[in-house]
Amino acid sequence: MATVAFDVVRKTPLLQKHVRVEIYRPLLEWNISKSSLSQALLDSFKGDHPDISFLQLLLAKDADPNKDNGHCFAVASKAGAFAEFRALSKAAGGSESASEQFSKGMGNPFGCLPDKTRIPILKALLDLDRDRISDYVIPGSSFGPLGVYPKVFKTDSDLLDAAVELPLREASLYLGNFEAFRLITREMTPNDGTLHLAALMALPKLVKALLKIHDPDHKTEELPTKNRTGRPGRETIQLLAPRTSPKWRYRNMTILRWAMDNGLDTAKAMIEALDIRHDPERDEKYLYMDRDGIEYSPQQYVMKVWDADKKEEKALNRKP
């Protein structure tokens, strides 16, 4: 009988939400069927946020938070209802069903990355099942639209490879979400390429932090050419270049030669970062040898080899 009365209240269309909740409370002292409790839980997410105390009461009575393919999780995520989501997660007990169903909705962890206001939701997801959530990957073809909106990448960015699967941690860097990266990453592994990726994504704060445990001269680490908007990563060059050995080579290119291959702006940023104009040993440090064994000082390379117009040559060859 209690379930019948409960369902009558639940199905009565004209009751205001707070009135319905107050009628429910005494009925919940009786034995209500799980299906009715679960449907009431689902109904409570229609419109505005549910009353958190009522939500907790329904869950304590064994309402199923996974009902209707985890719809409650998705609604809580979309609305930014962190307290409600945590209550649902706690009731789900970290079950595979809860996290799987939630990941299908707006609470997909990748959906938390472009919007930093969703950091609490990402944290709750990781608390629910850190190992499995951290192992999520997204195809480049799906990540592309996520990265382009809202204007994170240019639509023609060569950073997006549709054939590559991107892990959650790396995706946070591609989207420039340092807070999400720190949340996902419990431990830093030295020289794993993260420094390069952070530099490529023009995240100077993260680069500065990573330099404490990463070696910019390590073979897996390369200096950045462009950030995710297509402009030279000046700040990251300024951080990395002074820490990089003059002996560093990439395909037999010195650090300066490498910068020049990436355009005037990158070359100018490198010259400034290394303070080359005031370095009396610049010709020896940055001597470049081509395939024929011919050596060029930086100035000789600009004048004889570099494919640049006169204006660019003048910009780089100004006397110290």
Let me know if residue 299 belongs to a domain: yes
What total number of domains does the chain contain?
2
Per residue in 295-308, pLDDT (tens digit) is 888 788 777 776 65
> What is the sign, positive or negative, of the torsion defined by CA atoms of 15, 17, 22, 28?
positive
Let me know if residue 165 belongs to a domain: no
Let me know if residue 51 belongs to a domain: yes
- In this structure, what token pair is assigned to residue 31? 């034995």
Side chain identity at residue 245, one-letter code: S
Let me know if residue 237 belongs to a domain: no
Helix (H) or strand (E) holding 295: strand 295-296
Average pLDDT, the chain: 76
Question: What does the pLDDT average to over 70-93?
Answer: 74
Q: Is the pLDDT of residue 290 over 70?
A: yes
- Containing structural domain, residue 41: 1-65+77-86
Return the CA Rg of the chain: 28
Helix (H) or strand (E) holding 6: helix 2-11
167 beta partners: 137
Let me know if residue 138 belongs to a domain: no
Question: Of 56, 86, 116, which residue is a domain's last?
Answer: 86
**Better-scored residue on pLDDT, 285 or 108:** 285
Start-to-end CA distance of the chain, whole Å, equals 92
Question: Of 86, 116, 135, which residue is a domain's last?
Answer: 86
pLDDT at res. 229? 45
Question: Of 86, 119, 148, which residue is a domain's last?
Answer: 86
Q: How far apart are CA 320 and CA 317, in angstroms?
A: 9
CB 260 within 8 A of CB 301: yes
Let me know if residue 176 belongs to a domain: no
For residue 236, the tally of other CB atoms under 10 A from its CB is 26
pLDDT at res. 66? 78
- In this structure, what token pair is assigned to residue 54? 């009522």
Angle 119-134/82-92 helices, nearest 10 degrees? 30
